[in-house]
Structure 1
Amino acid sequence: MNVLNLVPSLRAASAVATLVLLAGCSVLPPSFSLPFFNTAAEKPKPAELQANPNLLGVRQAWTARLGTVDFPMVVAVSGNTAALAASDGTVVTLDAATGREQWRASARSALAAGVGFDGTTAAVVTRDNDLVTFSGGRELWRQKLGALSYTPPLVAGARVFVLGGDRSVTAFDGATGRRLWNQARPGEPLVLRQAGVILAVGDTLVVGQGGRLAGLNPLNGSIRWEAPIATARGINDIERLVDLVGSVSRVGDSVCARAFQAAVGCVDTARGQLAWTQRANGAEGVHGDGANVFGTESDSRVVSWRRDSGQRAWVNERLLHRGLGTPLALGRSVVVGDDFGFVHMLNREDGTLLTRLSTDGSAIASAPVAAGNTLIVVTRNGGVYGFVPQ
């Protein structure tokens, strides 16, 4: 029984000071920083921007306003509709072609994760640990969660699935909010305070648990298979942290993901087997196409790996230390935003710059997404931009 219906599955928060301590269910305060992360040290100077070659004809078609986005927000797309959320709990759907607002609602609390969306139902998680769902601008139901969550819920097959910060998975009835099942696993001492991995592949729920991708039965949460992308190493909990981070690149049964500061790898989800893994030092998710997988490293190198083998195809070092987020493979380009409000469109064949777009000067808050013929970009200051081909 295919209860998931092939729902495709996001910009994550900074790697520094984004660790959550789960032992004793206590959470480190926002001011906490790890001893070896010298946040007061001078940051490397961002690379100077090269002249814009304007090799792609792209224009800004519309703008919209959202509240400040200071949580790991993911723009969810279904058809020509995009669902977005602001930190204050505002949830909005927009027509991607025009930027016109379709409906707006409030979770009545600051958000920790969102947005999950299947075209009808939108779901977010508040910092009060409430899972809240909406349809047509009206709140449907809310349920208290048993664990913190920083990953947008997955809305699929008339159910809502939540990946907890402890990497437990809980399923709820989409219509009533009734809890259907919970699959817990031994908690990791440390996990990331950013979006993890949860998506549907056929009739299997695929989630990231530690350094592994796991395939679950969506009917009861039982594990069908596990495939390791990275293995924990080191002598302390911080060095052993290999949590998988969203978003992922899915093409058919091939799902490729990043393990935080450890590796990028691809899994054949039909067989539940690892295809390949390569060491990589990054904290953002990946995206790709049938030929390549694209990602950004912690120093803002942009890397392309061959999807079939994991071998590097190219590396772009022209955007070093600009705080690049998760890329998007779109047409002939790889689209990636930076901490200065610029959106860089690179040639997917060799990584060279095709064109550069500007927004409001604040950091790009989430991975760019495509809806219909529109590229949608959201900034930390709440600017929403729709770009289309000339």
Structure 2
Amino acid sequence: ATLVVSGCGLFKSKDNIHPPKPVPRFTATLEVKQLWNHGIGDGAGLSGVRLRPAVSAGVVYAASTNGGLAAWKLDSGATLWSHSSGSGWHPFGWFKGREHDHFAGGPSVADGMLFVGTQKGGVYAFEAKTGKELWRAQASSEVISAPAIAGGKVFVRSNDGHVFAFDEQTGKQLWLYDRGDVPALSLRGNGTLLAVNGAVFFGSDDGKLVALSQADGSTLWSVPIAGGEGRTDIERIDDSDGRLVFANGKLYVDAYHGNVMAVDPANGRTLWSRPLSGYTGVDEGAGKVVAVDDASNIWALDASNGGDLWKQDKLEWRWLSAPAVQMDKYIVIGDLQGYVYWLDLANGELAAKEHPAGSAIVARPLIAGDIALIEGDDGSITAYRVSGG
């Protein structure tokens, strides 16, 4: 049997031996303006799912754990369409029959279509313009990370370690990658698949970075990025569940009880490696790799060699979201109390702070130019525009 633990929920109890530092006070050096706010429905809560908005062609798409789906204009928040699949009246016939499906991964948007995974292993495709359901498919277990789309295929990772490829237009299963049993104990969550350069990349529950062929799902290479050590199963957890980044011709990745690494996507060769235990994933901008360690310290590393550039510890133990680089100038990041912060990418100094959510912000902020979209675990989605920067 596999026991899955929440990377954030483990540390939020009143008996936490590492209480979070207080919300920092500082003089803002960056002007941030709220554009709009919406509630999409039930948020992730403590479920550990990876719901996060998607943006395409000036439209924001979002999904909720109780089956809601909506599209809004990015700049104004005006509603383009909004559907609910919860119990009760269904104004759209194509949403009938999904009363008990709970969205859990996504949405992802590509080629005029939306793709969402569910807690029951469902994979749905919708027309982005209207929200009309186009097809549905089935994975082997819950899908709690966003699908990846490339080359006419939809790639989905299920929570039991399988990776599926479905035809983008029909939903027909094309291949299945079965990596075998997942570890006895792992962090709850799956890193989002990254589909580029003819391959599908992902971090595994046993601390490996894996590359599969998009064509047939065969393993191209697999390299360790963590090696959990210790006397207990918890001490030996070595997940790589965070976001992968492809930039500068390199893959950047982190792992719990592991390293931040730069890897050659062609063959898995390590280009540099720096010990740093994290589970949120990394981002890259302006020649820097930004990572968050498991104590919520924020680090900037030199993207060319992994050398330390700066460390920000004023948010220590605030259980931060994955970092997002905005405009190659700022880092946007959320915390367990619903605050979101902007940091200066050049030196790590805090530049602005807002409080958009009534619960934790676990989802990585979504960046669209000078606009940052923040989703809270309470189902709130807030858009902010950076100005004066």
TM-score band by shorter chain is: 0.7 to 0.9
- Residues 24 and 315, structure 2, Cα contact 8 Å, conserved in 1: no
Q: 1:133 aligns with which of 118, 121, 125?
A: 125
Match of 2:297 in 1: 301
Alignment of 1:310-349 (within 5 A): 310-331=306-327, 332-349=329-346
SS of the residue corresponding to residue 244 of structure 1 reads coil
Counterparts of 2:5 and 2:339, CA distance in 1:
31
Match of 2:178 in 1: 184
Gaps of 5+ in 2: 86-97
Query: Aligned letter for 2:122?
Result: D
Counterparts of 1:207 and 1:46, CA distance in 2:
31
Match of 1:384 in 2: 381
- Residues 147 and 156, structure 2, Cα contact 8 Å, conserved in 1: yes
Match of 1:357 in 2: 354
Match of 2:94 in 1: none
Counterparts of 2:235 and 2:16, CA distance in 1:
23
Matched, 1:44 2:18: yes
SS of the residue corresponding to residue 215 of structure 1 reads strand
CA gap of 1:42–1:221, structure 2 versus 1, over 3 A, is: closer
* More moved, 301-310 vs 358-367: 358-367
Deviation at residue 39 of structure 1 after TM alignment: 5.0
Matched, 1:283 2:261: no
Match of 1:65 in 2: 39
- Residues 320 and 362, structure 2, Cα contact 8 Å, conserved in 1: no
Matched, 1:273 2:273: no
Match of 1:4 in 2: none
Match of 1:153 in 2: 147
Q: Relative CO higher for 1 or 2, CA cutoff 8 Å, sep ≥ 6?
A: 1
CA gap of 1:80–1:92, structure 2 versus 1, over 3 A, is: same
Counterparts of 2:56 and 2:225, CA distance in 1:
29
Matched, 1:375 2:372: yes
Percent identical among aligned pairs is: 28
Deviation at residue 207 of structure 1 after TM alignment: 2.0
- Residues 81 and 119, structure 1, Cα contact 8 Å, conserved in 2: no
* More moved, 329-338 vs 278-287: 278-287
Match of 1:208 in 2: 203
**What are the Cα deviations for residues 70-125 of structure 1, in whole angstroms up to 9, with x where unaligned?**
23213223342332211112122322122123333445312332222215221222
Matched, 1:80 2:72: no
Deviation at residue 239 of structure 1 after TM alignment: 3.5
Counterparts of 1:372 and 1:342, CA distance in 2:
21
Q: TM-score, with normalisation over the residues of structure 1?
A: 0.85
* More moved, 102-111 vs 253-262: 102-111
Match of 1:124 in 2: 116
* More moved, 262-271 vs 229-238: 229-238
Deviation at residue 283 of structure 1 after TM alignment: 2.3
CA gap of 1:116–1:39, structure 2 versus 1, over 3 A, is: same
Q: TM-score, with normalisation over the residues of structure 2?
A: 0.85
CA gap of 1:386–1:239, structure 2 versus 1, over 3 A, is: same
Alignment of 1:83-94 (within 5 A): 83-94=61-72
- Residues 263 and 280, structure 1, Cα contact 8 Å, conserved in 2: yes
CA gap of 1:41–1:49, structure 2 versus 1, over 3 A, is: closer
Gaps of 5+ in 1: 1-20
CA gap of 1:207–1:300, structure 2 versus 1, over 3 A, is: closer
Match of 1:16 in 2: none
CA gap of 1:242–1:79, structure 2 versus 1, over 3 A, is: farther
Counterparts of 1:235 and 1:50, CA distance in 2:
36
Matched, 1:231 2:205: no
Deviation at residue 163 of structure 1 after TM alignment: 1.1
Query: Aligned letter for 1:128?
Result: K
**What are the Cα deviations for residues 339-361 of structure 1, in whole angstroms up to 9, with x where unaligned?**
12211111111111111122143
- Residues 167 and 184, structure 1, Cα contact 8 Å, conserved in 2: yes
* More moved, 229-238 vs 348-357: 229-238
- Residues 227 and 267, structure 1, Cα contact 8 Å, conserved in 2: no
Deviation at residue 63 of structure 1 after TM alignment: 1.6
Counterparts of 2:197 and 2:79, CA distance in 1:
32
SS of the residue corresponding to residue 290 of structure 2 reads strand
The two structures, once aligned, show a CA RMSD in angstroms of 2.5
Query: Aligned letter for 1:73?
Result: L
- Residues 211 and 230, structure 1, Cα contact 8 Å, conserved in 2: yes
SS of the residue corresponding to residue 259 of structure 1 reads coil
* More moved, 106-115 vs 218-227: 106-115
Matched, 1:55 2:51: no
Query: Aligned letter for 1:102?
Result: L
- Residues 197 and 244, structure 1, Cα contact 8 Å, conserved in 2: no
Counterparts of 2:180 and 2:331, CA distance in 1:
37
SS of the residue corresponding to residue 104 of structure 2 reads strand
